[in-house]
Amino acid sequence: MRYFFLFACFIWVHAPLRAGDTLTLAQCRALAVQNSPLQQKKGLAESTAALQLRSLESNNLPKINLGAQASWQSDVFGLPISFPGVEIPKVPKDQYKLTADVSERIWDGRLNRTLSEQKSLEKELTLAQTEVDVYQLRELVTDLYCKALLLQESAAVLESAKKDLEQRLKQAEASIAEGIALRTTADQIRIQLLKNDQQIATTAADFKTLLELLAIWIGRPAADFSITARSLAPPVAPTVFNRPEYHLFEVQAKNLQLNKSLLQQRTQPRLDAFAQTGLGNPNPLNFFDQGFKPFLLIGLRAAWTPIDWGNTKRDQQVLDLQAKNIEVQKANFEQRLQASLQRDQQDALKYQALLKQDDEIIALQADIISRADAQLQNGVMTATDYLTQLNLLTQAKITRKTHEMQALQARELQLAKNGDQ
């Protein structure tokens, strides 16, 4: 039974969303992050790093260079003496050489390994920055979703008011037919119905626009889904959890430390083994050996820069200053985030407190309507005054829905900023 339950949960989480589905805010946030074009940067960074690492690995393989040279020179080496009966060969002024050079790095002070670590870290930096950029979509989607919810709830209130008005219109028409009411009463109700329909149409158009914008951000081809409001919960404490910016700061600090190591390793001695072979006319190793002759040269080559006039030290100081700058950016980020979370928490508390007053206002206004209904029937109150009171009730209900959605939005913004679903 346990395994069946786990399997059912897996299917529910991974099942594709179909047209007509109801999407929660958490699902919309996840879809926005998943379908962002910025996610492609991760694949590009992976491919780039793989190619760069392969290139660095090839630095450990022997390097082969083929060369050819033909030259003419105005003077050549010659012995300043002569011996009777001995012909000393002359070095030709036109010389030719075909070479093959092979070299292999024996020791590079671990420079190549550090460069490989640097390329891997550059990839991680790109991934971390992408996570930060994509994360901003969570707040944008939360704002769109909550605004759409507000319009949806307002439309429901207006539809309820419309039914009320239609019922009042029927009663007015019945009274007119019995001769106990004027046609003006029915016309005034019709005017109010038309105004109500205008509000419904405007709300529906705005709701459709927000839903279409939401569909674009979450990667849906059309706004073929519905949204729902979760029950309000107490505001969360303004704490910080899984923000990707912290990982970005950490990777940036690692990158600076690696660059400091790289500066030290660039000044380490390097040792290469090399070999050169080929054909030369004359032989490059023996100018008196005429004709195209083979030659071979093998050995070791060392290079070292013991003095760089303080450049490495100054570069390290620059990296230390950059590390401090990262710490300043991190502190500034934490300060802004804490202030933003605190503001969201206070907003959520404020709007939840207003809900209690809204309920009292609606109850009082509903009581006024019940008394006004009897006064209208007895001719004590005019239809205009009655409709005014009815409109006040509708606006009070819309105001309550507004405060309810604002409290929900403040709470959801806290969750979005904290890194929660």
Are 204 and 191 in contact, with CB atoms under 8 Å apart? no
- In sequence order, the 6+-apart residues with CB closer than 8 A to the CB of 306 are 267
**Residue 230's pLDDT band (boundaries 50, 70, 90)?**
low
Q: What is the pLDDT of residue 19?
A: 47
pTM comes to 0.78
What is the rounded average pLDDT of the residues 157-184? 85
**Residue 328's pLDDT band (boundaries 50, 70, 90)?**
very high
What is the rounded average pLDDT of the residues 285-308? 85
- How high does pLDDT run on average in the chain? 85
Q: How many CA atoms lie within 13 A of 250 on its CB side?
A: 9
**Residue 88's pLDDT band (boundaries 50, 70, 90)?**
confident
Handedness of CA 359, 360, 364, 365 (dihedral sign): negative
**Residue 20's pLDDT band (boundaries 50, 70, 90)?**
low
Distance CA 82, CA 345 (A): 104
Q: What are phi and psi of 88, to 5 degrees?
A: -90, 120
Taking alpha carbons only, the member of 111, 133, 137, 170 closest to residue 33 is 137
Residue 91, pLDDT above cutoff 90: no
Are 166 and 81 in contact, with CB atoms under 8 Å apart? no
**Residue 240's pLDDT band (boundaries 50, 70, 90)?**
low
Q: What is the DSSP letter of 231?
A: P
Q: Tell me the two tokens of residue 242.
A: 């899984």
Helix (H) or strand (E) holding 124: helix 111-178
Based on its alpha-carbon atoms, the radius of gyration of the chain, rounded to whole angstroms, reads 41
- In sequence order, the 6+-apart residues with CB closer than 8 A to the CB of 62 are 102, 103, 104
Burial 30-43 (b: 16+ CB within 10 A, else e): bbbbeebeeeebee
More confident residue, 417 or 322: 322
Condensed to tens digits (0 to 9), the pLDDT of residues 306-322 reads 888 888 889 899 999 99
Q: What is the pLDDT of residue 45?
A: 92
Q: What is the pLDDT of residue 47?
A: 94
Residue 127, pLDDT above cutoff 80: yes
What is the rounded average pLDDT of the residues 373-382? 78
Q: What is the pLDDT of residue 421?
A: 54
**Residue 329's pLDDT band (boundaries 50, 70, 90)?**
very high
**Residue 411's pLDDT band (boundaries 50, 70, 90)?**
confident
Q: What is the pLDDT of residue 5?
A: 35
**Residue 417's pLDDT band (boundaries 50, 70, 90)?**
confident
Taking alpha carbons only, the member of 310, 311, 283 closest to residue 297 is 283
Condensed to tens digits (0 to 9), the pLDDT of residues 111-126 reads 888 889 999 999 999 9
Distance CA 320, CA 338 (A): 27
Residue 6, pLDDT above cutoff 50: no
Residue 363, pLDDT above cutoff 80: yes
Give the count of beta carbons closer than 10 Å to the beta carbon of residue 88.
10
- In sequence order, the 6+-apart residues with CB closer than 8 A to the CB of 420 are 236, 241, 242
> Span 20-61+108-269+308-418: which CATH code?
1.20.1600.10
Residue 145, pLDDT above cutoff 90: yes
**Residue 326's pLDDT band (boundaries 50, 70, 90)?**
very high
